Amino acid sequence: MRGVVTTNILSPKILLIENDPTAANEIRAALALASSGFFEVEWVRQLSEGLARLTKGGIDAVLLELSLPDSHGIETFDKLFSTAPEVPILILGGSYNEALAKEAVGRGAQDYLLPGHLNYSLPRALRNAIERKAVEDALYVEKERAVVTLNSIGDAVLCTDISGIVTYLNLVAETMTGWTREEAIGKPLAEVFRIIDGLTRQAARDPMEMAVEQNRTVGLTVNCVLIRRDGFESAIEDSAAPIHDRAGRVTGAVIVFHDVSASRAMSVKMTHSAEHDVVTNLPNRLLLNDRITQSIALARRQNRPIAVIFLDLDRFKYINDSLGHAIGDQLLQSVSKRLLASVRSSDTVSRQGGDEFVILLSGITHPGDAATSARKILLSLTAPHSIGGRDLHIDGSIGISVYPEDGQDPETLIKNADTAMYHAKERGRNNFQFFKAEMNLKVVERQSVEGSLHQALERGEFLLHYQPKINLDTGAITGVEALIRWQQPDRGLLSPSQFVPIAEDCGLIVQIGRWVLREACRQACAWQNAGLPPLPIAVNVSAVEFRDKGFVYGVQAILRETGLEARYLELELTESVLMEDAEATVSVLQELKMMGVHLAVDDFGTGYSSLSYLRQFPIDVLKIDQSFVHQITADPDDSSIVSAIIHMGKSLKYLVIAEGIETREQRTYLQTQLCAEGQGYLFSRPLAAAQFAHLLQMGIRETVVH
Ligand code: C2E
Ligand code: MG
Ligand code: MG
């Protein structure tokens, strides 16, 4: 920036460069007369003297004669001007060569004076020259400040004249448009500042035109995208304001804009993460609620149902706890993929957190369609999930609620689907249930059961019943299964289905299971000690107990403590226990096997494991689930499944037992299929210990149940 001249307005100092003393005196007199000492005049006769004086500073204006002893013509002016360009110069004596004087003005002199007009015009010309210079300097400072400011702000600034021709760009505007100032100035705005609507890709409205037309500041254009000269696009926010002249007329416009790509991307990302689950990237509760609300509005208008499916993965917690969260997360991702593949793209699969998923079926025409989807979902989950080199098996329980019957808003629909899901779980998992109003009562009951379950152990409210296993050929008792009962003070004798799932959920099953094992072993010893024939006793082990780290040790300790020989203990595990984590299961089973304990697969046929899959486990006994047995005589399909299981089981050297035999026909059929053993009401219901001892002494007399 050029040096700023401080003008001594009170008594401006004038440097007079004039060789002719007469002319010099004339000028001094004219100045003295006109302004009574207002100007202070210093007189030198040669250019060199003048230059020397100027470099010392303090001169407010120069009166210059171009013809001097040491310099002539325009050269005189040029030398002086280049030494002190900030000082206003007036040329004297234009009369003898007006053309020369004019040339000097063209090169930067403020004015020239004609000798005849000295008295009249000299003081005024000097004053004007000094003032004009001061204004120019002030303007220059102002302009410099504006330029520096415009270049240092983060916003891009672009100015146009009234006809939309670019007149100015700051540095940011240069970078963002890809146009340099030199190239852009003089071009139409639309060429330099190419903007489109990011959504429609149509040209956006010219903000400058609007500002000029409406003579007001025009706000942001939504979704505005600027296309740089090389085609690169950036999201921008812009505003335009009209520029006025002193008379208030619009002379152009200024457009201010900045890049919002980052913040727009951030806000898109924030919206996404606020509405999606981190692990699976599925919509979360928030977005689901939104979708259900929309879907309800549409369904109401179209007078058709929608369904909400609540899915809870069975035993996910144990996989997560035993194999770690990383594996757990991958399993959830795999599950979410299967869910997405089982529903239509118009449906919403969401994760509620934990192992719970909620699926909105918005395109159903009949509640029955939801059952079809539920079946499809359950089936999709059953194939092993191969994660971290292992095959993980998981299944789920589903509850379904239907709009409008089961709820008119998202919260109620989800809550009721959740309730129905609990009922599905109690029904033995891996199935689905539609919501029914009376289920809500049961939830309350469930909570109160959980409350009193905590004290049941200390209060000694549990007891075991015993059911014999029979050799189907001879009718002899070959073993006994211990089945837990809860003598609940308010509710009477409860069966395992009424409390075991709850005990599993809250973890109490581990302690309860220990008690069962100890009591069963103690009872078996007591019978032996009483002289009854020694019988293997079977104890049911739930997945939660089996996965407990102290399980094997607990079994060992109880055998030692009660004195029961290991070969008289049989542990019954369901297929799902075996399917959960095959590798870990094999090693636990082997430890038990080494101890001499027998192992049985309970409820075989209800899971999805095949016999060949089971071969990797050291199993002794296969118990065919009672649902097949019940159907034997009614359904030829079931009977052929049963005979297939019996034959394959036998060929794999398993002892095959049929559960739930209630009729002679069932027994006869099983016998013809060479099933070794059976269990069921036909032979005996589960009995209290004393009654069972009696039965042992007396032997079995078949009773037919209906
Ligand atoms: P499970 O191990 O398959 O036991 C057989 C179930 O079928 C028993 O029901 C038994 O009473 C019943 N049952 C036996 N014969 C017949 C028959 O001919 N017809 C019909 N309809 N049912 C018959 P329960 O005692 O209610 O036990 C149900 C389930 O609860 C058991 O199925 C077992 O999985 C579980 N459970 C029982 N006791 C325990 C225990 O101490 N710990 C664990 N974790 N689970 C247990
Ligand atoms: Mg059992
Ligand atoms: Mg069973």
Average pLDDT of span 204-212: 85
| Spatial distance between the Cα atoms of 238 and 259, rounded to a whole number of angstroms | 9
C-alpha of residue 628 to centroid of ligand 1, in Å: 15
Q: Is 80 exceeded by the pLDDT of residue 606?
A: no
pLDDT, residue 6, reads 47
pLDDT, residue 52, reads 94
Summarize pLDDT for 95-126 with one digit per residue, the tens.
Answer: 567 888 889 989 989 888 877 766 667 888 88
pTM > 0.85: yes or no: no
Summarize pLDDT for 10-63 with one digit per residue, the tens.
Answer: 678 999 999 999 888 888 888 877 666 678 899 999 999 999 999 998 899 999
Give the closest ligand to the alpha carbon of residue 624.
3
Q: Does residue 12 contact residue 41 with C-beta atoms inside 8 Å?
A: no
Tell me which residues have their CB within 5 A of the ion that is ligand 2. 540, 572, 602
Give the closest ligand to the alpha carbon of residue 499.
1
pLDDT, residue 38, reads 78
Tokens of 448: 């109160």
pLDDT, residue 609, reads 65
pLDDT, residue 1, reads 38
List the alpha helices (DSSP H) in 568-663: 575-580, 582-595, 611-614, 626-631, 636-651
Tokens of 105: 């003005």
Nearest residue CA, atom 27 of ligand 1? 496
C-alpha of residue 626 to centroid of ligand 3, in Å: 7
Q: Is 90 exceeded by the pLDDT of residue 393?
A: no
Lowest mean per-residue pLDDT among 314-318, 357-361, 385-389: 314-318
Summarize pLDDT for 62-90 with one digit per residue, the tens.
Answer: 999 998 999 999 999 999 999 988 899 99
Summarize pLDDT for 133-154 with one digit per residue, the tens.
Answer: 888 878 887 887 777 777 778 8
Q: How many Cβ atoms from other residues are within 10 Å of residue 419's Cβ?
A: 22
C-alpha of residue 5 to centroid of ligand 3, in Å: 106
C-alpha of residue 601 to centroid of ligand 1, in Å: 13
pLDDT, residue 145, reads 79
- Amino acid type, 693: A
Lowest mean per-residue pLDDT among 168-172, 366-370, 487-491, 577-581: 577-581
| Spatial distance between the Cα atoms of 407 and 310, rounded to a whole number of angstroms | 14
Average pLDDT of span 336-341: 96
C-alpha of residue 590 to centroid of ligand 2, in Å: 20
Look at residues 48, 99, 51 and name the one whose alpha carbon lies nearest to residue 73: 99
* Percent of the residues in the chain that have a pLDDT greater than 70, as a whole number: 94
Give the closest ligand to the alpha carbon of residue 429.
1
C-alpha of residue 400 to centroid of ligand 2, in Å: 30
Dihedral pair phi/psi, residue 492, rounded to 5°: 90, -160
Instruction: List Cα–Cα distances, 107 to 74, 94, 133, in angstroms.
Output: 9, 15, 15
The separation between the first and the last C-alpha atoms of the chain, rounded to the nearest angstrom, is: 110
Q: Is 90 exceeded by the pLDDT of residue 463?
A: yes
Look at residues 400, 349, 350, 356 and name the one whose alpha carbon lies nearest to residue 375: 400
C-alpha of residue 497 to centroid of ligand 2, in Å: 12
Atom of ligand 1 nearest to the CA of 661: 18
Q: Does residue 521 contact residue 569 with C-beta atoms inside 8 Å?
A: yes
C-alpha of residue 218 to centroid of ligand 2, in Å: 78
pLDDT, residue 120, reads 67
Q: Is 90 exceeded by the pLDDT of residue 131?
A: no
Query: Most confidently modeled of 133-137, 540-544, 574-578?
Result: 540-544
Tokens of 488: 């609940």
Query: Distance between alpha carbon 659 and the CA centroid of its chain, in Å?
Result: 49
Query: Most confidently modeled of 23-32, 67-76, 322-331, 475-484?
Result: 475-484
Nearest residue CA, atom 35 of ligand 1? 496
| Spatial distance between the Cα atoms of 181 and 541, rounded to a whole number of angstroms | 82
Q: Does residue 659 contact residue 623 with C-beta atoms inside 8 Å?
A: yes
Q: Does residue 162 contact residue 251 with C-beta atoms inside 8 Å?
A: yes
Nearest residue CA, atom 42 of ligand 1? 540
Pairing of strands 432-434, 40-44: unpaired
Summarize pLDDT for 638-655 with one digit per residue, the tens.
Answer: 678 788 889 989 988 999
Average pLDDT of span 460-472: 97
Most ligand 1 atoms within 8 A of CB, residue of 466, 485, 537, 540 to mutate: 540
Instruction: Quickly list DSSP for 226-258.
Output: EE-TTS-EEEEEEEEEEEE-TTS-EEEEEEEEE
Summarize pLDDT for 655-683 with one digit per residue, the tens.
Answer: 999 999 999 999 999 999 999 999 999 99
Q: Is 60 exceeded by the pLDDT of residue 705?
A: no
Q: Name residues whose C-beta falls within 8 Å of residue 644's C-beta, 6 or more positions apart in sequence.
A: none
Give the closest ligand to the alpha carbon of residue 607.
3
Average pLDDT of span 334-352: 94
Q: pLDDT-based confidence at 4, cuts 50/70/90?
A: very low
Q: Does residue 307 contact residue 400 with C-beta atoms inside 8 Å?
A: yes
Q: Does residue 243 contact residue 213 with C-beta atoms inside 8 Å?
A: no
Question: How many helices (H) and strands (E) in the chain?
Answer: 27, 27
Atom of ligand 1 nearest to the CA of 679: 15
- Amino acid type, 44: V
| Spatial distance between the Cα atoms of 182 and 610, rounded to a whole number of angstroms | 80
Whose structure tokens read 């203990």? 569
* Beta-sheet strand order (sheet of 156-161): 166-169, 156-161, 250-259, 233-244, 224-227, 194-197
| Spatial distance between the Cα atoms of 45 and 338, rounded to a whole number of angstroms | 103
| Spatial distance between the Cα atoms of 554 and 567, rounded to a whole number of angstroms | 16
Instruction: Quickly list DSSP for 679-698.
Output: -STTT---B-HHHHHHHHHH
| Spatial distance between the Cα atoms of 677 and 393, rounded to a whole number of angstroms | 30
Give the closest ligand to the alpha carbon of residue 543.
1
Most ligand 1 atoms within 8 A of CB, residue of 318, 427, 470, 483 to mutate: 483
Nearest residue CA, atom 34 of ligand 1? 540
Q: Name residues whose C-beta falls within 8 Å of residue 508's C-beta, 6 or more positions apart in sequence.
A: 453, 454, 457
Q: Name residues whose C-beta falls within 8 Å of residue 266's C-beta, 6 or more positions apart in sequence.
A: none
- Amino acid type, 80: L
Whose structure tokens read 């078949």? 702
Q: Is 80 exceeded by the pLDDT of residue 386?
A: yes
Q: Name residues whose C-beta falls within 8 Å of residue 352's C-beta, 6 or more positions apart in sequence.
A: 284, 285, 288, 358, 414
Q: Does residue 315 contact residue 394 with C-beta atoms inside 8 Å?
A: yes
| Spatial distance between the Cα atoms of 548 and 545, rounded to a whole number of angstroms | 5
Q: Which residues pair with 47 in a beta bridge?
A: none
Give the closest ligand to the alpha carbon of residue 623.
3
C-alpha of residue 483 to centroid of ligand 1, in Å: 6
pLDDT, residue 204, reads 86
C-alpha of residue 574 to centroid of ligand 2, in Å: 8
Nearest residue CA, atom 28 of ligand 1? 496
Nearest residue CA, atom 13 of ligand 1? 660
Whose structure tokens read 């709850």? 502
Domains of the chain: 13-149 (3.40.50.2300), 153-265 (3.30.450.20), 278-437 (3.30.70.270), 449-698 (3.20.20.450)
Say which residue, 114 or 215, is predicted with more confidence. 215
| Spatial distance between the Cα atoms of 13 and 31, rounded to a whole number of angstroms | 12
**CA angle at 647 for the pair 641 and 650, rounded to the nearest 5°:** 135
C-alpha of residue 219 to centroid of ligand 2, in Å: 75
| Spatial distance between the Cα atoms of 622 and 602, rounded to a whole number of angstroms | 7
pLDDT, residue 222, reads 76
pLDDT, residue 36, reads 64
| Spatial distance between the Cα atoms of 204 and 223, rounded to a whole number of angstroms | 9
Instruction: List Cα–Cα distances, 185 to 112, 165, 189, 480, in angstroms.
Output: 35, 7, 9, 99
Q: Name residues whose C-beta falls within 8 Å of residue 254's C-beta, 6 or more positions apart in sequence.
A: 157, 158, 159, 240, 241, 243
Q: pLDDT-based confidence at 3, cuts 50/70/90?
A: very low
Instruction: List Cα–Cα distances, 197 to 48, 175, 217, 642, in angstroms.
Output: 67, 21, 20, 68
| Spatial distance between the Cα atoms of 632 and 187, rounded to a whole number of angstroms | 91
| Spatial distance between the Cα atoms of 149 and 171, rounded to a whole number of angstroms | 11
Mean pLDDT of all residues in the chain?
A: 88
Atom of ligand 1 nearest to the CA of 516: 41
C-alpha of residue 573 to centroid of ligand 3, in Å: 9
Ligand 1: lining residues by beta carbon, under 6 Å: 467, 483-484, 495-497, 500, 513, 516, 540-542, 572, 602-603, 626, 659-662, 679-681, 686
Nearest residue CA, atom 3 of ligand 1? 603
Q: Is 70 exceeded by the pLDDT of residue 632?
A: yes
